[in-house]
Homo-oligomer: A and B are copies of this chain.
């Protein structure tokens, strides 16, 4: 069973946060849950250009243990599991937002399509409103992708 160990505990909140989020996949799963409306194992699998199934299973479990994600079985189909962000998880929205904006500005400026650019402008102009919308979506269990909703 793979899994990272908590190590540095230097008392700094950043270190504590990175104990859970400081790896290649966790934030991508959170992004899928938060802005793409994904909720099943299968959906995550086809998302970030292929995470291995064992790693995905491990990360979901770690995130659940950390209280960032919750899971429940589909009442209509016993073999299906729905994942969802907890309150603690949706509170990561500002982190994800800033990471997205930094990445868009410095790491992938040319790959940003018009929809992404529009969203970027939206976020820069009305940060608070945007975050409020993300949370509202979460409260209402709205599973439509966030970007089309904003891109119009």
What DSSP secondary structure best describes chain A's contact surface?
A: helix
8 A Cβ contacts from A96-126 to B: 96-108, 111-112, 116
Which partner residue on chain B sits nearest A9 by CB separation? B49
CB of A8 within 8 Å of the partner chain: yes
A91 to B108, CA, bound (A): 15
**What are 25 sample pairs from A and B whose C-beta atoms fall under 8 A apart?**
A4-B24, A7-B24, A10-B48, A11-B108, A12-B31, A12-B48, A12-B108, A13-B99, A13-B103, A13-B111, A14-B27, A16-B103, A16-B108, A16-B111, A17-B107, A18-B28, A22-B23, A22-B24, A23-B23, A67-B106, A91-B102, A91-B106, A94-B101, A95-B95, A95-B102
